Amino acid sequence: MADNLSSIPVNDAVALTQTLLRMNTINPPGNEDQCTRYLAELLSAAGYDCRLVDFAPHRSTLVARIGGKPDKPPICFTGHVDVVPLGSAKWAHDPFGAEIVGDKLYGRGSSDMKSGVAAFTIAAIAVASEIKDSAGLTLVITAGEETGCEGAFHLVGMSDVAEILGKAGALVVAEPTGNQPLVGHKGAFWLKASATGVTAHGSMPESGDNAIYKIARAALALENFDFATPPHALMGQGTLNIGTARGGLNINSVPDAAEMTIDIRTVAGQDHRQIWGCLCSRMGPGIGLQTLLDVGSVFTAPEDPWMQSVFARCQTLFDTPLQPKTVSYFTDAAALREPLGQPPTVILGPGEPHMAHQTDEFCYVARIGEAEQLFRQIILDWCKG
């Protein structure tokens, strides 16, 4: 550990995690402003310039900044405070009780990802006085991530985003990784394909034009879709799945409308616009396409010097050598990276990846303290190195 770290107790990050867990931010409806306004008060008191950006009632994203130098951009941390619904299974632990049992802290969002937000918030407060005259630090704490990075995309779509957000030289996304650094994630490209026809009585199908046949032929045309790009060294190949298909209103009518949804997960180097064109060509005329979600992949080469420095910091927590890995889920980095200036990006947080969205979600208490110390070191390495 660095000798000049602040004396704020490590378990303050645990206490802050508990405070955030007791705020019900299930999305929908979200109500994330409970968390973001509370965090803004803490960070403002530590000297951060805080701005809350509302994208819906009671749904705000927080951007907190400190420091800044013309010759070096700040480091940026990001995380979301909305959580997914509880599911139908009964919880053994109160999902909003923030109960600690043994070495585990239970609650919806404990791993995904209020522990990560708490850890970098406490780290940011701890080092505030040391970095206020340095390159600086930006925190972006978002609403609406679980339903397609809504808060982040709203922020980057604002006309004054450059003034609010600024640039960054490096980006840490505190999603659950068990404190093991990840170098990227796949993109998500969700589409709705639709076909139209002419309705008629089911006993006289020759008088109509069956839309289900059209959408069925289109679905079969995509069964073995070729992305026409080589597999990525770490991410593998992109994937395509038909998730739903719907058509018709009753058994004795020719359906005049049908649709299906397409879930595509892309890897670094694949262009969503090119994929759109390939889909249209493969499915043929008469099929309409509508974008439901367009979130690009994120990847930083393991050889990047900053990435190597992060791996070196994380390695002190593990006995076996860390290997570069990526994940299939997407993060707010897909929205934030471009306006931030395409900085090298690591996904790194205390939560347990396998506990995200699970019944009786938990995070190991020790991981939260480890992450808070780790984040302090990463901030200081950037600002004072």
Please tell me whether residues 218 and 285 are part of one structural domain: yes
Domain count, the chain: 2
User: For the chain, how are helix, strand and coil distributed in percent, rounded to 5?
Assistant: 30, 25, 40
Backbone angles phi, psi at 99, to 5 degrees: -80, 135
Please tell me whether residues 25 and 95 are part of one structural domain: yes
pLDDT of residue 11: 59
Please check whether residue 1 lies inside any domain of the structure.
Answer: no
Q: How far apart are CA 293 and CA 319, in angstroms?
A: 40
Question: With contact defined as beta carbons under 8 Å apart, do 45 and 147 qualify?
Answer: no
Q: How far apart are CA 80 and CA 321, in angstroms?
A: 29
Please tell me whether residues 57 and 137 are part of one structural domain: yes
Residues that are catalytic: 82, 146
Domain that holds residue 345: 12-185+297-384
Q: What is the pTM of this model?
A: 0.94
Please check whether residue 43 lies inside any domain of the structure.
Answer: yes
Please tell me whether residues 133 and 251 are part of one structural domain: no
Please check whether residue 3 lies inside any domain of the structure.
Answer: no
What the block records as the tokens of 138 is: 């930006």
Q: How far apart are CA 379 and CA 377, in angstroms?
A: 5
Domain end (from 266, 295, 324): 295
pLDDT of residue 331: 98
Please tell me whether residues 21 and 152 are part of one structural domain: yes
Please tell me whether residues 18 and 147 are part of one structural domain: yes
Distance from first CA to last CA of the chain, Å, rounded? Answer: 15
What the block records as the tokens of 206 is: 């020759």
Amino acid at position 161, single letter: V
Give the contacts of 133 (CB within 8 A, at least 6 positions apart).
Answer: 67
Please tell me whether residues 306 and 227 are part of one structural domain: no
- Report mean pLDDT in 10-residue bins for the chain, 385 residues: 39 93 98 98 97 97 97 98 98 98 98 98 97 98 97 97 98 98 98 98 98 98 96 97 98 98 97 97 96 97 98 97 95 98 98 98 97 98 94
